[in-house]
């Protein structure tokens, strides 16, 4: 981590506070996981579990475990956030075909996700990179969970196996580096973009309404059905970066996009814009916060992390060309502002 990250400090040995504060969280008992897996198996059900699938490495490996190792009847469900990479879609199709798993991809019929990102960015554009980077995930925060919960209700699936890993979590480190920014109430009152953003967030909730949840809310959906159990699989098994990559590449034909050096976060091309914002805020990518945790957990060495970080930094402007204007729908002037971002941390 570079010294330009706000709040960072180094001890006499040159170790930063993020590394010295790191602690390994042991996995839960695998026996408990086996009991959960067995309780989900039912010969009368069409599906024993749902695996939320993005096309990235972790969810693809969960899919492999669910079908090939745990022998579950699996339904793969994906939320198309309208910014999905072609390679991510190909990875999902290839994996489901190789494992003989049914696959459902759900997208807003009126492109509400893109509109949420568009008006969200326009709303926070004057605030700079921190606010811009955090508004890009508003649609997914609701959509990723809602389509899975709806499918679980529809097909009466008793188990959902999520693929997030604490080894790759970056939010706690980001909060230490920057607690966030608040827009002035006066600006909120007179900016039409904030009303349009909230309108489309409301319409997305209406289109993908999860039973038991209020329509008028800004929070992610909550699964109310007590007959459906959610499990974050990497809470029970060790997250092994090397094993995950080798398995999905060999067994499922998984690939990363040609314009990335890392196999991490390859499913959404907005991630290039997020990294661009982070370079302007901190002097490093968002991925760097994750690399720090991976190094401390023994999943990556420092040299590999530096190589991937330098690769991402050297052509970031080329990677974001056209995303703001063509994919999101920003004007040329708005796109130029993002491309020329400077550090505006308050």
- pLDDT (tens digit, 9 = 90+) per residue, 331-343? 999 999 998 886 4
Picking from 284, 288, 282, the residue whose alpha carbon sits closest to that of residue 304 is 288
The reply to whether 8 falls in a domain is no
- C-alpha 147/C-alpha 160 separation (Å) is 12
Within 13 A of 277's CA, how many CA atoms are on the CB side?
24
| CATH number for position 177 | 3.40.50.620
**Nearby residues of 80 by Cβ (< 8 Å), 6 or more positions away:** 105, 106, 107, 113
Per-residue pLDDT of the chain (346 residues), as tens digits, is 888 888 899 999 989 988 888 888 888 788 899 999 999 998 889 999 999 999 999 999 999 999 999 999 999 999 999 999 999 999 999 999 999 999 999 999 999 999 999 999 999 898 888 889 889 999 999 999 999 999 999 999 999 999 988 777 777 777 777 655 555 556 666 789 999 999 999 999 999 999 999 999 889 999 999 999 999 999 999 899 999 999 999 999 999 988 788 888 889 989 999 999 999 888 899 999 899 989 998 999 999 999 999 988 887 888 888 899 999 999 999 999 998 886 444 3
Q: Where are the beta strands (DSSP E) in the chain?
A: 49-52, 74-80, 102-107, 159-162, 229-232
The reply to whether 7 falls in a domain is no
Phi, psi of 306 (to 5 degrees): -65, -40
> How many structural domains are present in the chain?
1
Instruction: Return the C-alpha torsion angle 214, 105, 84, 93, nearest 10.
Output: 150
Res 104: pLDDT: 97
Q: 231 vs 13, 225, 237, 277, CA distance in Å?
A: 40, 14, 11, 32
The reply to whether 346 falls in a domain is no
- C-alpha 172/C-alpha 188 separation (Å) is 27
Q: CA torsion sign, 88 to 94 to 98 to 100?
A: positive
Res 345: pLDDT: 43
The reply to whether 47 falls in a domain is yes
The reply to whether 11 falls in a domain is no
Is residue 241 within 8 Å of 248, Cβ to Cβ?
A: no
Q: Over the stretch 234-290, which tens digit does the pLDDT of each residue have?
A: 999 989 999 999 999 999 999 998 878 888 888 998 999 999 999 988 889 999 989
The reply to whether 13 falls in a domain is no
Res 344: pLDDT: 43
Residue 227 belongs to domain spanning: 23-339
The reply to whether 288 falls in a domain is yes
The reply to whether 1 falls in a domain is no
């Amino acid at each position: 981590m570079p010294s330009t990250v706000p709040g960072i400090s180094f001890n006499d040995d040159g170790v930063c506070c993020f590394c010295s504060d790191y602690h390994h969280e042991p996995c839960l008992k695998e026996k408990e996981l086996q009991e959960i897996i067995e309780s989900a198996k039912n010969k009368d059900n069409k599906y024993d579990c749902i695996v939320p699938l993005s096309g990235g490495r972790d969810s693809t490996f969960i899919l492999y475990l669910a079908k090939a190792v745990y022998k579950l009847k699996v339904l793969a469900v994906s939320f198309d956030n309208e910014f999905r990479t072609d390679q991510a879609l190909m990875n999902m199709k290839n994996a489901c075909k190789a494992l003989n798993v049914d696959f459902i991809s759900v997208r807003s019929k009126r492109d509400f996700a893109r509109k949420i990102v568009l008006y969200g960015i326009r709303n926070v554009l004057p605030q700079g990179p921190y606010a811009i980077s955090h508004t890009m995930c508003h649609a997914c925060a609701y959509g990723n969970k809602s389509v899975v919960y709806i499918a679980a209700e529809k097909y009466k699936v008793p188990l959902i196996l999520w693929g997030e890993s604490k080894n790759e979590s970056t939010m706690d480190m980001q909060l230490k580096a920057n607690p966030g920014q608040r827009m002035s109430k006066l600006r909120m009152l007179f900016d039409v973009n904030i009303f349009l953003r909230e309108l489309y967030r409301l319409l997305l909730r209406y289109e993908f309404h999860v039973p038991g949840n209020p329509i008028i809310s800004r929070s992610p959906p909550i699964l109310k059905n007590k007959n459906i159990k959610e499990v974050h699989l990497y809470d029970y098994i060790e997250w092994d970066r090397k094993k995950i990559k080798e398995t999905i590449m060999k067994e499922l034909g998984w690939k990363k996009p040609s314009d990335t050096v890392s196999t991490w976060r390859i499913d959404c091309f907005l991630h290039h814009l997020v990294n661009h914002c982070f370079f302007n805020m901190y002097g490093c990518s968002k991925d760097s916060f994750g690399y720090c945790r991976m190094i401390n957990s023994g999943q990556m060495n420092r040299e590999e992390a530096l190589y991937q970080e330098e690769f991402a930094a050297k052509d970031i402007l080329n990677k974001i060309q056209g995303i703001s204007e063509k994919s999101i729908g920003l004007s040329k002037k708005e796109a130029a502002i993002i491309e020329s971002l400077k550090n505006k941390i308050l």
